[in-house]
Amino acid sequence: MTISAPRNNFPLVDSRKYLFIAGGIGITPIIPMIRDAEAAGREWTLHYLGRSRSTMAFSQQLVEEFGADRVHLHAADEGGRLKLQNILGLPRAHMLVYTCGPAGMLSEIEDLCMGWPPGVLHTERFSVGDLDAPTNPDPFDVELALTGTTVTVNPNETILDAIEANGGRALSSCRAGLCGTCETRVISGEPEHRDAILSEEDKDAGDVMMVCVSRAAAGCHRLVLEL
């Protein structure tokens, strides 16, 4: 059996300052980031949200290790619900925002960070909500450049479904646009990105797409993919 090295879709980018926001079990990927930032001598602050201190994993350990001046716990049962506007209302120079937690919290953070410079916000999701109807309701063709095969993707199926239905194969895992396993290079054509992984900058570039959920954009009738 041959396996690849682990893939990291939520890497810590070097910066002078970090603002970490974790909700519930979303603290899990944030902890090693905090330790890396600390080891590099970077300035950082953590806001950790949860229902109660007893359900907030690692909360006491983090306070003891790094101090309450940088680890801010917000337990809902203590009236400690954080108003995200208070910490995200204004962009801050040389600061990146890293967050992981419930979908509602992430959506609010994304809205608040719309006025921040591009590339500042980094998120990781454990689940995705219901996808809206695609902007392109028509069938479209996908050329698999490595095999020379062309498949037609119907409105009720994904690119991945169409490839497999025609005897092809593409790496995949979650089939929900979350894990990044099916990331594929776009040679030509305009994709409609429906995943929860790529940054807005990556989506605008259109160089790669997740074939398990993403499709051709409205007005695009053919994609050429490196498959």
Tens of pLDDT, residue by residue over 85-99, are 999 999 989 999 999
Q: Which tops the pLDDT comparison, 121 or 2?
A: 121
What pLDDT sits at residue 130? Answer: 64
Could you tell me the pLDDT band of residue 125, with boundaries at 50, 70 and 90?
Answer: confident
Where does residue 211 rank: exposed (0-12), middle (13-18), buried (19+ CB within 10 A)? buried
Q: How much is the pTM?
A: 0.82
Q: Provide, rounded to the nearest whole percent, the portion of the chain with pLDDT above 70.
A: 98
| pLDDT of 129 strictly over 70 | no
Element (H, E) at 74: strand 71-75
Element (H, E) at 73: strand 71-75
Q: Which two tokens stand for residue 87?
A: 């910490």
12-16, 77-81, 163-167, 203-207: segment of lowest average pLDDT: 77-81
Could you tell me the pLDDT band of residue 176, with boundaries at 50, 70 and 90?
Answer: very high
What pLDDT sits at residue 199? Answer: 85
What does the alpha-carbon distance between residue 49 and residue 76 come to, in Å, rounded to a whole number?
A: 8
The arithmetic mean of pLDDT across residues 135-145, rounded, is 93
User: Over the range 83-122, which residues count as b (16 or more CB within 10 Å of their CB) and which as e?
Assistant: ebeebbeeeeeebbbbbbbbeebbeebeebbeebeeebbb
The arithmetic mean of pLDDT across residues 125-132, rounded, is 72
| pLDDT of 80 strictly over 80 | no
